[in-house]
Chain A
Amino acid sequence: MTNPPFDLTACALAEAVRSGELGALETTDAYLARIEAHDGALHAFHSVDADGARKRARELDDARARGEAHGALFGVPIALKDNMCLAGQEASCGSRILAGYRAPYTATFVQRLLDAGAVPLGMTSMDEFAMGSSGENSAHEVSRNPWDPTRTAGGSSSGSAVAVAADLAPIALGSDTGGSVRQPASFCGVYGLKPTYGRVSRYGLIAFGSSLDQVSPFAHDVRDLERVLQVISGHDERDSTSLPIEPFEPERPAELQSLVGLRIGVAKPYFDAGADPRVREVCEARLEVLRSYGAELVEIDLPHTAYAIPTYYVVATAEASSNLGRYDGSLYGARTGGDGSLQSMFAATRDAGFGEEVKRRILLGTYVLSAGYKDAWYNQALKVRTLIRRDFEAAFEAVDLIAGPTSPTPPFALGERAGDAIAMYNSDLCTVPASLAGLPALSVPAGFTADASRLPIGLQLIGPALSEGRLLRVAAALAAAPDAPPTHALDASAGGAA
């Protein structure tokens, strides 16, 4: 292969492998070699299953030889976040408490990928139990931003974002609870899509905030996002919160002219609160492109945005404090002995197994649910959540989608916020509202900071429930327009070397 497949989209790759133009094994080998060459510095992967990947790839090549090359992602390598269950694979959730834990079953969404012919390469690194916005809360490796390795890749789906940005995998899955896919997508200059809550089954996604978590894809290309969403979405009887709908169907490609009449809401709170002026500059430029193609920019207000961070953290930590109660060393995972009694074993195991941020959030969640405080905190947060949802409902009477920066700042330096929990929480300002409302939200690579640091900036598009098609159509228009930024951090055509 003179030109390794790294500049091909996943869709093009699937086509090439199905037709025989590329082999599944040679494709997998190419990506494995690239991981070998680059991941030592980037730490995108927590574990790589080279043997398993090659075995699968060989099976796919055999199938094609038999004339049975079907599957929308046939032969396409994919990276999975370390909180996703694939039978026999370790799923440590970036934590010591699950180090060595092998999933006994396969998640529905992973099975659908396998059925479509995808080749999982390994599990990517993440903030412990998906709690973090920088990847620095991992108990294992910490991913580096491939555009500037002194900076974070965002979080909590850090490794998956890096894997795609550095072409260690053409597509990857992450999980987004309050922005954990959109923000790393923004920081790493790639696309990240959080679907409507209930669009994709959560069965086999290790839970953090049950009413917020969604499996979310990363990609270089809008078509790839559509393809992955199509494969993994649709009703699952194993998830009682999964919507009783068919898998997502991509819309026809967007013509730039078809943006005429599209009303785009520009929410002041997202642009104002702490937004770095470089972020505003890049996002506003992109919005101008949309305006020049006929879209109408409408200033809207989302009056309860200031309450979104506290609401999110109260609800998410409450659910998490309960979801993480099961990690106690009794039935699986790591165990640390205590003084020989059951309850002390629980405490010792959790003390040794959980990192600081996880403990902090479990404490917070336990507190807001505890007797005497529950009404003022948890019950109040549930009501404010309703107000936030109503903000969006009102906004969507006037506009078709809402646009703003994905993150108030460009990627920050490693260590810069690690000790400051509040600063870290505040960086989720733009992303948590859509999570609280269960709405689909897409981070589109918008450009780079104008200064010498050239850091990636993402533009977030939020739509009404089940409007992923509309968001992707707008993203496709932006991708086809001038100044669409590159999404490959390392030189893609250089093959195995950086």
Chain B
Amino acid sequence: MEKLALSDEILMQVEKPARYIGNEVNSVVKDASQVDIRFAMCFPDVYEIGMSYLGIQILYDMFNRMEHVWCERVYSPWPDLDAIMRKEHIPLFALESQDPIRDFDFLGITLQYEMCYTNVLQVIDLSQIPLLAAERRDGDPIVIGGGPCSYNPEPIADFFDLFYIGEGETVYRELFDAYRRNWEQGGCRRDFLELAADIPGIYVPQFYDVTYHADGTISSFKPNNPHGKNRIQKQVVMDFEHTPYPMKPVVPFLKATQDRVTLEIQRGCIRGCRFCQAGAIYRPTREKDVALMKRYALEMIRNTGHEEITLSSLSSSDYQALPELTEFLIEEMGKRKVNIALPSLRIDSFSLDVMKRVQDIKKSSLTFAAEAGTQRLRNVINKGLTEEMIRDGAMKAFQGGWTKVKFYFMVGLPTETEEDLMGIPMLCEQLAEDYYTIPKEERTGKVSITASSSFFVPKPFTPFQWASMNTEEEFLRKARFVKDGFQQQKNRKSLTYRYHDADLTIMEGIFARGDRRLAPVILQAYRNGCIYDAWHDWFQQDVWKQAFEDHEVDIGFYTFRERSTEETLPWDFIDIGVSRQFLIREWERAKRGEVTPNCKQSCSGCGAAGFGGGVCFENKN
């Protein structure tokens, strides 16, 4: 395509104009007059971030395999272009055709983190589509949301016509068929929304009314339209082996954050960490056949020319054929001079051996997602990693020549005490001391141990969805306490501690468990100039604070408040296949510090077996 939506004058004054020109290798161009449905797929962040995301590549490929559909991409314009587009009233456009989004049938927006919500508004607004779904008319695109944050879509429900709850592979074809049928029959926008509402997994927020008790909690959540289902079933692709996978992913010109071939070997996780939303919503765990993965690896490298390949899953160490797959990749990628980027693996003899063969150990570091500093707290969160396993793994690595260790921790976990917090520096100190037990002549210099902590945010559909979240002051006090703890250690010069920003975490906490009353707040923050909140340099805390104050929203109601298990939660209308009873049971066990076995050890009856496949049925034929 020679056509560009932006003039030379504009492209020459913005940073990285290649973000806006399309034309990348494997991007799909169709004849607009020969398709019935034009779909704009959006990741509401800058191009380099959005292009790194596997989910869009999967759906882009799947949609474009459909003859009557043309799926294109759109990302958030960077603030420099954003300002120009507003000033000159230039409508936001799709990369492939450079046509305005407002002329499309669908605008699909993936919701990967809460802090993208003002960017969602930016994309809709720059597209010149009314921000509120209720104000859209027949000619406006249908705005549809999906991705992890759609498991509690309520804070942004007012801005979307539809949400697709679950994995995108299942009912899009039905949705498109309904759209065509409605169009052929001369139906209006509302007629289509009603047809869509009848499709499993599709949630139409306008078809529901919410009422509240005097204390602010939800009193009722009811359909106001006969097509509004009482429960929305999460969509899961159970024939995971044969689900379409993009053999020709789009290759960006610009260096994307993840600039490589990604093999999705597994979806879901058997571990059941109690803080982890992904571990719950992607149940049951499903694997792809190793022979298929080998074929994909070769084909995708040939089709993209990428110089790196990596594996995608929530816990690659649990993939049964991992040794066979890594052996194959080391051999075949070695021939092709393609790097292998290993996802975080459990540290054991196998992974150390693999790492040694694919990385320079002088430069690489070991990573432990310990999450908590003491065994007691690791039991509370059901993180099946013991101090012994950490020390063993680290010692093997030290003996193998590694000197750099990275730890990830969370601060602010339920039931956390000062002892748990002090456990963070003490665990790091213990590893440093272990290192110096190695005779001097066998060591390769000094050890370096880096611990970083994020602040804990309770998420919907986890056993901690009822838990109290710390305040910003508590978070910072705890982080300083941990930092002081590091100063007291004997080997403090070998230890480094970093912690994330607490202000963004609080925002994330509000939206993660928020309800429909937050929409006006988000709208005001956006109107007053907030975009790119996930980027700390652009985050305007004062504007947000003002927006909460103006709408008399009590932040503590959404964050600090511990919920009763009796309360109606904003996301209760979604059925993820994991039962509320299971989550309550897990919440109780957490408080007692009891560990629950992983899905391969024994079934804990979460409910996901109802999907009829995956790990729940392995070895049971």
Q: Do A and B bind each other?
A: no
Residues of chain B touching chain A, judged by Cβ–Cβ distance below 8 Å, are none
Residues of chain A touching chain B, judged by Cβ–Cβ distance below 8 Å, are none
